[in-house]
Chain A
Amino acid sequence: QKEVEQDPGPLSVPEGAIVSLNCTYSNSAFQYFMWYRQYSRKGPELLMYTYSSGNKEDGRFTAQVDKSSKYISLFIRDSQPSDSATYLCAMSAGGGFKTIFGAGTRLFVKA
């Protein structure tokens, strides 16, 4: 079993839809939870991070962490075609070199 599980999609939604992306994990030592966005043929870029449980909001993006269920989510409100990308969840117990990535979910937002 992988430490981090993420549905690879693809997920296709119309412009303006609310998008929900999710990951589950098995290692209870994870404390830092991140979402990276990767455009086609580019490197991943950090979108949001959350420490421990709770919610964090940044514009149209909301990250949620439920440590009791070992489940994290990224919500995108009012999705735009420019949001079309692969979203990778990532988590660590601390320190960049022990970051574990999910497989990534490909998202397509249709105009």
Chain B
Amino acid sequence: NAGVTQTPKFRVLKTGQSMTLLCAQDMNHEYMYWYRQDPGMGLRLIHYSVGEGTTAKGEVPDGYNVSRLKKQNFLLGLESAAPSQTSVYFCASSYRGGPTGELFFGEGSRLTVL
């Protein structure tokens, strides 16, 4: 009963390095999201996808790219990491058309950029 799985759980990068966070869900959800969580800021939406092959910008998209080549996977990429991207990243998914849009979250990926 995996739900939403994120890899890696921890990563330390140097400024300018690149990396990709992988999110996988086994609930056949249409919608997938990437959030970042920072102290005092709550969860902020980076990018989201309403279906395979589609992506859209959220509230804080700069410095990130995403891809949704398969329905069950949503990748978040950092091309040139900056210290301001030190954060905890959460992937989430939801049913299409759910009235509340209940979000199912992964356990998070902690990224530190030195």
* A, B co-complexed: yes
How far apart are the CA atoms of A1 and B70 in the complex, in Å? 38
A88 touches B42 (CB 8 A): yes
Stretch at the interface among B14-22, B61-69, B71-79, B97-105: B97-105
Partner of A97, one of B39, B50, B90, B108: B50
Range of interface residues on chain B? Answer: 20 to 34
Chain A residues whose C-beta falls within 8 Å of the C-beta of B41 in the assembled complex = 103
Residue numbers of B with Cβ under 8 A of A are 4, 31, 33, 39-45, 48, 50, 56, 58, 90, 92, 94, 98-103, 105-108
A59 CB–B CB distance under 8 Å = no
A96 touches B4 (CB 8 A): no
- Residues A97 and B101 in contact in the complex (CB < 8 Å), given A6-B42, A43-B4, A103-B42: yes
A102 touches B42 (CB 8 A): yes
Total contacts A-B at CB 8 Å: 68
Number of interface residues of A (CB under 8 A): 26
How far apart are the CA atoms of A88 and B94 in the complex, in Å? 18
Chain A residues whose C-beta falls within 8 Å of the C-beta of B50 in the assembled complex = 97
How far apart are the CA atoms of A38 and B20 in the complex, in Å? 25
A46 CB–B CB distance under 8 Å = yes
Partner of A94, one of B33, B40, B101: B101
